[in-house]
Amino acid sequence: MEEGKMEKLVEGKVAVVTGGSSGIGRATALAFAKEGAKVVVADVLIEEGQETVRLIHQEGGEAIFVRTDVSKAAEVEALIQSCIQVYGRLDCAFNNAGIEGAVAPTADCTEENWDRVIAVHLKGQWLCMKYEIPQMLKQGKGAIVNMASVAGLVGIQGLSAYCASKGGVVQLTRAAALEYAKANIRINVVCPGLIRTAMAERVININPEYAAQVIGMHPLGRLGNPEELAAAVLWLCSDAASFVTGHAMAVDGGYVAQ
């Protein structure tokens, strides 16, 4: 390393980011590239995912886009195969793809909404690990970060399917972390509060009063920024977090400390 030059957090590594077309996924894909990783961006939204890749290339980074529905095993398997074919390895994964789902009391949640939310969040994260872990086992090392939510740690009215899926992701992460710790594969999960993304804006823009109420639920008195969540994911994937596994990290402005 040149004298005076800062070492990059994930220099020379290869990272997969699902849900990389916007918001937290895009911010994290850009952060991975900025910190020296080659990035595989995955999403069902093709144009937006390709735009993330273009932004990475614009900054001098390396990236490809692979259209992927994480709820379908064949597509997740193809994603990881594409990563290996292009870059030869897989060091880091941020399993981030998610949907809002409908807001309704538990008895009014439709079966369609329940099945879709569980399929994308819980089954999707399991499928990602199912195909990421074997490659990391071959390499003898790897780091995975799953995406949950404060809704995986505390209950939120009107979001029974969302809470169930995110709570499931937290427990799935803990089980997998224990299973692969001795194989030097670290698996953690981030639990953000409300982060300023297009999805969040749709939630809080119901009316100004509701927006103030939601923001006020976060002791720091504001929403988080996608870049703040990206920084947490990057740290967990880096060698700086080499003794951290099975951890559910709240990045929530103090929300769950109340």
Active site residues: 162
Give 20-80 as a DSSP string: TTSHHHHHHHHHHHHTT-EEEEEES-HHHHHHHHHHHHHTT--EEEEE--TTSHHHHHHHH
From residue 142, how far is each of 56, 66, 210, 245 by CA, in Å? 23, 21, 41, 11
* Nearest one of 202, 188, 180 to 236, comparing CA atoms: 188
How many C-alpha atoms does 81 have within 13 Å on its Cβ side?
Answer: 8
Hunting for tokens 């952060």 — which residue is that?
Answer: 31
Residue 191 is given by DSSP the state: E
**Interatomic CA distance for residues 119 and 114, integer angstroms:** 8
Tokens standing for 55?
């932004």
Torsion of Cα atoms, 8 then 44 then 76 then 118, to 10°: 110
Number of other CB atoms surrounding residue 116 within 10 Å: 17
Interatomic CA distance for residues 55 and 47, integer angstroms: 12
Burial of residue 85 (CB within 10 Å: 0-12, 13-18, 19+) is exposed
